[in-house]
Structure 1
Amino acid sequence: PPPALSLTGTFVLSVFTAVLGSLEFGYNIGVINAPQKMIEQDYNATWLQRYGEPIPSGTLTSLWSLSVAIFSIGGMLSAFCLGFVSEWLGRRKAMLINNLFAFIGGSLMALSKLCRSFEMMILGRFIIGAYCGLASGLTPMYVGEIAPTSLRGALGTLHQLAIVTGILIAQILGLEVLLGSQELWPVLLGLTVVPTVLQMSFLPFCPESPRFLYIVRCQEHQAKRGLRRLTGRQEVGDMLAEMKEEKRKMEMERKVSILELFRSPLYRQPIIISILLQLSQQLSGINAIFYYSTSIFIKAGVQSPVYATIGAGVINCAFTVVSLFLIERMGRRTLHMLGLGGMCICAVIMTMALALLDSVPWMSYICMLSIFGFVAFFEVGPGPIPWFFVAELFSQGPRPAAMAVAGFSNWTANFIIGMGFQYVADLCGPYVFLIFAVLLLFFLIFTFFRVPETRGKTFDQIAANFNERSVGGMMDMDMDMDLDKPSTELDYLGEESIN
């Protein structure tokens, strides 16, 4: 057996540097909410200066919606390019160059007030969205590839922990007494360049992913050197042997395009699982809570809704840490199901509490507790797990294309919720969360029947499981469902849970 793992300085620095991208992603999700009224006042002042009349309310609503939603459009487009960019530049260089987007986007937003230009603000949000789209795929890909099998789940959770920490920092700094004031909101938006500068400073000291160097670039010497730096061990033959086996299997399969993922029976099931896991994260209703938490808390009769929102942010971070410790003990599938089930129950309780609020005043406390519970269960499962599960379900060949498809699905669902929730909420009133409860129940049933457990398995073993199933499935069809050799989905999941 390989010697006990020791966390080297290089390994810690590499993981920390990579997740700075996730921190910035979270910061840009959370930063736009607090200063909304101030930014709208500036849009009005700009319009008044240009056209000599106040901005029409419909135009202001459209400009504000565009400022929020264009972030997701930037993310959707860049997430789709992830496979090509990560293969062409490599994981580390792609992260380094991606920082240019963050720097340009942050600078445009910070200078938009000074230049009296809402166009600069909207363009800045689009460019920072493009940065986040790439970062949301590059971070889990790089961390997943440099992490040892025993730590891959826990380290994969760090991506989500950094996102929620970024959201919380943005919420706190967005308080009016800090940077959420009329004068200082451009500083609040411009602060996004701080993690960028840090990441650009540290990345040259981090090794490229040895898995990428050996399997994609065929650079065995550099891969060995990277492994030695990351592990602190001179003898890295066992790790190289695992990569060799993965490379050998990969060379037997053709280069995988995005279309191939859906056409090939080998990849069809894992890509469908990947897409639905991403949808289970975004369509769970969590973004509805974060985008509109202040108005939900006002409806529930909370005195200081902004502090209640920050309270939800603190719970968000705390339970991501809980997930970090549970993920290698309980497994990905179990935690994901626990999170989905808990959220479903909280959504039903929240609906009842909101419906009874007018007649039973103390329901406001039940409403708050159910929101906090909803957020806590999200961070136990659907928050962190979909991001790195995709990297685990695919071998090196199809992984970049799969990450691109999964990222695109995530951003598209994010955009739909961001644009559509307010209209649906106005239509359904307090019963809007019943829609999310039904979706959560569907995702729970899907996870139970279709999603395998990946804890403690190498990338190669996970890919081999799907290969066996698809080959087994084709053989069964050829043999006209031979009864001597049953190979059902439930048998497989039974074996997985025993494992």
Structure 2
Amino acid sequence: MITKHNLSTDSTQQGHDTVLKTHTNSQQLVTGTLALSVFTAVLGSLEFGYNIGVINAPQKIIEADYNATWVHRHGEPIPTGTLTSLWSLSVAIFSIGGMLSSFCVGFISEWLGRRKAMLINNLLAFIGGSLMGLSKLCRSFEMMIFGRFIIGAYCGLASGLTPMYVGEIAPTSLRGALGTLHQLAIVTGILIAQILGMESLLGSEDLWPVLLGLTVVPTVLQMALLPFCPESPRFLYIVRCQEHHAKSGLRRLTGRLEVGDMLAEMKEEKRRMDMERKVSILELFRSPIYRQPMIISILLQLSQQLSGINAVSCTSLTPFCSYLQLFLVERMGRRTLHMLGLGGMCISAIIMTVALALLDSVPWMSYISMLSIFGFVAFFEVGPGPIPWFFVAELFSQGPRPAAMAVAGCSNWTANFIIGMCFQSVAELCGPYVFLIFAALLLFFLIFTFFRVPETRGKTFDQIAANFNQHSAGGMMDMDLDKPSTELDYLGEDSIN
């Protein structure tokens, strides 16, 4: 018979063990295998960013090539409306590809595993890059458009697979810092694309196919390096029940022979999973356990795309802000940084609106406008840029995580597509006051984050999931407070009282 005293003693001992595990994890060093694995994974993020930025610089040259192709086929210049439609399709179909493929992240990552899924996904990038690179030679804008769709499908999968893999292989104490590398690689890819897209480099009439085809370079590099990276130990143990391979992966990633504490954490998570049925996308919304973290994940993704960042073209500053965020995320916490970013963007958007409205009558407002743009982008890279991408991986345990990543990724891509299709029309209607719309949205997301988004810094996946289980019937989660973090701890606290 289990007495209250025994239960209390067990829970107290478990608390001591948790503290010991956290202390051990805090001493975790970045091994060569961990660094290689993270670097290899975020090559997909680099390619994602490259394909976001690569299409903008040579727009006029590519449109001229579309016209030349039309003349070659029909003997007359392309109608203006047709050219506009073809170019809009060339840009928007990238988001459509990402939107559709992001829904497959959960299925593919469970079927193939995280590492093999990234490896197979590179085939899409190779096909898409080849189609775009050869479109001028083949006089086919259809190849260009289809290539953009295929590369968008690649990016949709990469946007889910990369943070999932990095989040699962990273030790708890480094998970936030390593998670920001996904966004850092994205903005670095955008910057590289914009630099190479200059007319003096590859953005010329003859070399723009090379500019688009260069997307296969990180693809080849990632395919060459992935075989040297271990599969996610969490996936191997919790999903595939391969304890031996999971231990081997943990030893390679941590450089430690004794990994029992980490394996114990996975065993507890697997025990919880075995008590649950397989989680589908519909059950994420139906179950009160998952509903709240799912709503949080979706709104965090929307806070990124509906922030107005795509309306501001200024990426030369963003990699440096991302480097700063790399060091801040484990010191200040995810929730704090996200709120700081949202608040800073909201203020910057208001200042930007005022500056643009007074630009004609007050010439020096151009300097205020420029500073507000820099501030807008900098605050984006502090919070809404990187935080949503890896927050989803932290809010869900191993079972529902793939489905949650799929839904969150699709939400991100859908919002991206809507902004891309609608912003120009809204901007023409509202003029400089369009940024007040984004300011209002940013304020809403700031209030939501303050009241609903928990802090996950320093928490294991199991602790985070346990807190949602306990607070699913309540309002705001208290995960950032010194509350018990497992069911046994709650029972133990009751027995003491």
With normalisation by structure 1, the TM-score equals 0.91
Amino acid paired to 1:370: S
- After the TM superposition, which residues 259-278 of structure 1 pair with which residues of structure 2 at under 5 Å, given as runs? 259-278=282-301
Once residues 342 and 34 of structure 2 are traced to their aligned partners in structure 1, the CA distance between those partners, rounded to angstroms, is 33
SS at match of 2:198: coil
Residue type of the partner of 1:208? E
Task: Give the structure 2 partner of residue 380 of structure 1.
Answer: 382
* Contact 2:453-2:476 at 8 Å conserved across structures: no
Q: Is 1:54 aligned with 2:77?
A: yes
- Asked whether the 8 Å contact 2:28–2:173 carries over to 1, the reply is no
Distance 2:315 2:425 in 1: 25
Residues 200-215 of structure 1 mapped to structure 2, 5 A cutoff: 200-215=223-238
Identity of aligned residues (%): 84
Which residue pairs with 1:135 in the alignment?
158
Give the match for residue 442 of structure 2.
Answer: 440
Q: Hey, what's the Cα distance between the residues in 1 that align with 2:425 and 2:392?
A: 32
Amino acid at match of 2:248: R
Matches within 5 A, 1:61-460: 61-289=84-312, 293=313, 312-460=314-462
- On the 8 A contact 2:281/2:404 being kept in 1, the answer is yes
Question: Deviation digits for residues 6-41 of structure 1, max 9, x if unmatched?
Answer: 322111110100000000000000000000000000
Cα distance, 1:313 vs structure 2: 1.7
Post-superposition Cα deviations, 1:346-400, rounded to whole Å, max 9, x if no partner, equal 0001111111111111111111111110000000000000000000000000000
Cα contact 2:456–2:480 (8 A) shared by 1: no
Distance in 1 separating the partners of 2:316 and 2:436: 25
Contact kept, 8 Å, 1:98 with 1:131, in 2: the verdict is yes
Equivalent in the alignment of 2:13: none
Relative to structure 1, the CA distance from residue 247 to residue 493 in structure 2 (aligned partners, 3 Å threshold; closer, same or farther) is closer
Q: TM-score, normalised by structure 2?
A: 0.91
Point out where structure 2 has 5 or more consecutive residues left out of the alignment: 1-19, 486-497
Residues 467 and 479, structure 2, Cα contact 8 Å, conserved in 1: no
Q: Which amino acid aligns with 1:447?
A: T
Amino acid at match of 1:166: G
* C-alpha displacement of 1:215: 0.1
Q: Does the 8 Å contact 1:452/1:496 carry over to 2?
A: no
Structure 1: distance between partners of 2:346 and 2:480: 25
Residue matched to 2:481: 495
Q: Which amino acid aligns with 2:463?
A: Q
Cα deviation per residue 1:44-63 (whole Å; 9 max; x = unaligned)?
Answer: 00011111110111110000
In the alignment of these two chains, the number of paired residues is: 462
2:490 — aligned with what?
Answer: none
Q: C-alpha distance in 2, partners of 1:489/1:276?
A: 15
On the 8 A contact 1:35/1:185 being kept in 2, the answer is yes
Name the CA distance, whole Å, in 2 between partners of 1:78 and 1:446. Answer: 29
Deviation (angstroms), 1:148: 0.2
Q: Write the distance in 2 (CA, Å) between the matches of 1:450 and 1:391.
A: 17
SS of residue paired to 1:454:
coil
Letter in 1 for 2:118: M
- The C-alpha deviation readout for 1:122-148, integer Å capped at 9, x for no partner, is 000000000000000000000000000
Asked if the contact 1:80–1:405 (Cα under 8 Å) also holds between the matched residues in 2, the reply is yes
